[in-house]
Amino acid sequence: MLALLGLLYVSFSVVNSWWFSVLHTQSATNDLFWFEFNDSVQAWLMAAFNHADEYSPRDLTSLAYAQQAIDASDAIVLRQTKSRELFQNQTSPAMAIAICRKVVPVTLLWLSSYCWVDFNKTWSLAHTPGREKRCYERYRSNGAVYLDAVLRNTNMTEFETLWSGPGGCFTIGIAQTLSQTELGRSFLQDLRSRALLSVESELAY
């Protein structure tokens, strides 16, 4: 009796495994587990993304997305000027401030290759004399290379919880050096105590 039950259990498991494989064959043929995803779907998807990238606002009910199929052999047109367009598409300072305030503190130290800690250029963050020279000659008018521009627009309590304290990146890389002078200690204290300004006031600053 036990042998029969064991045989039935094994047979049931084998049949179910086979049926599962049959059901998921079409989905398992691609990395997305997308049922019946093939070359024509990929071509259509790329065309849809290109269309969405070029036109804003994006209306998903637009007839431009309503095509039923696309030939897999159709060439996907990538505009050669796209990289230049992205490079030239500058973000306004007001938008940059608003975006910065929404960035989670864990990523703030890696947003840019910073040149200075403060806007007065008291403490340099350039890793070589050559980099320091390039910073001054090319980037000194760019607010993105000043760490203070980011720290002014973040929650310092959350930031220090992540990056300060013994062994913290901010402590070792910046705060320890700043703490050696009265000016540096004052700067750190000001960072911790200041309240966020309105976007308009921050722009004026």
Can you give the pLDDT at residue 31? 72
Would residue 47 count as lying in a domain? yes
Can you give the pLDDT at residue 59? 65
Q: What is the pLDDT along the chain (205 residues), one digit of tens a residue?
A: 788 888 889 999 998 988 888 887 877 777 777 877 777 777 777 777 777 666 666 666 666 555 555 554 556 667 777 777 766 666 678 888 888 888 878 777 777 889 999 999 999 999 899 999 999 999 999 888 999 988 888 888 888 888 887 888 888 888 889 999 999 999 999 888 888 788 888 877 7
Verify that 157 and 185 share a domain, yes or no. Answer: yes
Would residue 86 count as lying in a domain? no
Provide the domain limits for residue 133.
91-204
Counting the structural domains of the chain, the total is 2
Would residue 85 count as lying in a domain? no
pTM score: 0.56
**C-alpha closest to that of 77 among 104, 107, 103, 43:** 43
Verify that 20 and 1 share a domain, yes or no. Answer: yes
Would residue 176 count as lying in a domain? yes
Can you give the pLDDT at residue 159? 84
